[in-house]
Chains A and B, each alone.
Chain A
Amino acid sequence: MPQFESHFFSSLIFWEVLSFGILFFVLYKFAFPGILGVLEEREKKIKDSLDQAERHRSEAERKLKEYEAKLNTAAKEAEAILAAAKERAQRLMEENEQRLTTEAERIKGDATREIDHERRKAIQDIRAQTTDLALMVAEKVVQRSLTDADHRKFADEALEALSKSYQR
């Protein structure tokens, strides 16, 4: 095999060590620091971005929860207000109804009482007038003086008869 021809070994070893050494030096000095630096920088940047995204996400979540809670309380409040308003309206309506009923009741009672009163007064008036009239008539008919008690008796009898005829 040509690879085992040892008279090339010295030159191959010499040049290999030299070129490898040069390459190592060049890369070590001028290439690797830059590439590794950029890689690290990028890793850091990606990590930072991810961290920031995570922070934003959690903040957004927190805000969402906050808003949801707010919305919830607002809805509850609205419900409570609505219920209170309904109750108040109901109560007002009932109150009004009751008030109107009692008012009507009272007016009706008043009117009945007045009518009754007027009726009684009218009856009394009629009775008084009738008594006077009857007395006058009786005096004219009898033409004699009667005792006052007689007067009363006759008058009452006449009145009784009259009211009986009235009632019929």
Chain B
Amino acid sequence: MEESPLHPFELHNWIPISLGGLDISINKAVVIMWVVVSLVAVLMVMAGSARKLVPGKLQSMAEMMVDFIRGIIMDTMGKEGMRFFPLIATLFLFILFCNLIGLIPGSYTVTSQIVVTAVFACLVYGLSLIMGFLLHGVKFLGILVPPGTPAWLLPLMIPIELISQLARPISLAVRLFANMTAGHVILGVLFGLAISGGLLIGWLPFAFTIAMNGLEVGIAFIQAYIFTVLTCVYLGDAFHLHGHDEHAH
């Protein structure tokens, strides 16, 4: 049986629901989202209610995760960035668990849906814009002018900076989507080879499949990490508009 490597990304409506003309049918990706939300919520709430000074395994893991995210925020935004901690931590955990659960054969990688990553990217970028204009007012437009730009270069710099700003949400969305998709495509192709190769030489691509799956676990972490770091960087840029951002030097 030969199937398309893109087959795992296909969705089918399981329970058709319509909300005022809006199609909100339940499909596999939605169910996996629910699984992710319940898993993360249960684990973190359990860890959060343990509150032991000498933590158990679960509490240790949760604390490591939280401390890790706190470290990222401190490094990129400084202390005042901590007010975004709940949002950034939730984002990290949601993406990480989506990535990891997607690696279980037969499940679905929610983050391989570009629309899902695009929503997160728009959320992050939109928030950074709102924060920027709230904190700095019209001066926030100065983000389009790098410090020290001579006046005669402005007609050139502003379009360039505008493009780089617009590229932020797009790259944020595409990076996660593409990485998740590519990883699963490779896994699918390798596994397809293993199936069609039979026992005689099929073990070779199968071994590669297993190795790739290990690598994908790493990529799941790295992509969640990258998304989080970039979120912090973009929010941080909105926070301290260049000139008085001490961490950039």
The interface of chain A, by Cβ under 8 A from chain B, is 1-5, 7-17, 19-20, 22-24, 26-28, 30-39, 41-42, 45
Contacts and interface: CB of A to CB of B under 8 A. Distances in A.
A10 B53 CA distance: 45
B23 A10 contact: yes
6 contacts: A2-B9, A13-B115, A14-B24, A23-B37, A30-B49, A32-B86
Contacts of B177: 3
A4 B26 CA distance: 18
Interface stretch (B39-47, B145-153, B219-227, B240-248): B39-47
Given A10-B22, A39-B66, A27 B90 contact: yes
B49 to A, nearest CB: 6
B74 interface: no
Contacts of B9: 1-3
Counting from the closest, the 8 A-B pairs by CB-CB distance are: A34-B48, A31-B44, A31-B48, A2-B9, A2-B10, A15-B30, A28-B86, A14-B24
Contact of A5 (B11, B52, B181): B11
A17 B119 contact: yes
Contacts of B181: 1, 3
Contacts of B94: 20, 23
A45 B53 contact: yes
B130 to A, nearest CB: 17
A15 B11 contact: no
Interface of B: 6, 9-11, 13, 17, 19, 22-27, 29-30, 33-34, 36-37, 40-41, 44-45, 47-53, 55, 59, 62-63, 66-67, 70, 85-87, 89-90, 93-94, 110, 112-116, 119, 177, 181
Nearest to B19: A14
Contact of B6 (A2, A8, A15, A37): A2
Contacts of A45: 53
Contacts of A3: 9, 112-115, 177, 181
B44 A35 contact: yes
Contacts of A31: 41, 44-45, 47-48, 62
Contact of A38 (B11, B45, B52): B52
Given A3-B9, A3-B115, 6 more contacts: A3-B181, A11-B24, A20-B94, A22-B41, A27-B41, A38-B51
Contact of B55 (A28, A36, A38): A38
B213 to A, nearest CB: 21
B41 A16 contact: no
A90 B135 CA distance: 94
B116 A27 contact: no
Contacts of B50: 34, 38
